[in-house]
Amino acid sequence: MTGRDPATGMTDAELAALAGDAYADRDQADAWEDEEPPEVSPDVRSVVSVRFSRGELGPIERAAAAAGVPVSTYIRHAAVNAVATVDLDRVRQTLEALKANLDGLQHALGDTPKENGKRIVGSKRPAA
């Protein structure tokens, strides 16, 4: 009984004959189809291989899946973010703006501050 290749459906003998024909025609330029060049984005500068152990890769794969991105994209973003500088002044300004927005929201909801400066969220609401 002859087995068939699961990818091609051909028998071992058929694959051997095809390989023999290809080898015999290897030097004949007209026997081969022109190869189309691969499409490469002009933005791609380098491709870098990274090796992970199975123990290291598992959590990375799960995090990438949770983020809804391919593993390579997740790793690229993590690497870029690891070397990115943080503008602390801008972060402080953003936090101050967020705090002002939260204070305004608490005031609009009728919350009152405690003596130590902390607010009780949802403690008092204006009567309707």
| pLDDT, position 92 | 94
Question: How does pLDDT run across 40-65, given as a tens digit for each residue?
Answer: 777 777 888 889 988 899 999 999 99
Indicate if the alpha-carbon torsion angle 105, 110, 115, 119 is positive or negative.
negative
Residue 23's Cβ-side half-sphere holds a number of Cα atoms within 13 Å equal to 6
The answer to whether the pTM exceeds 0.95 is no
Q: What is the pLDDT of residue 59?
A: 93
**DSSP classification of residue 45:** -
- The answer, yes or no, to whether residue 127 has pLDDT greater than 80, is no
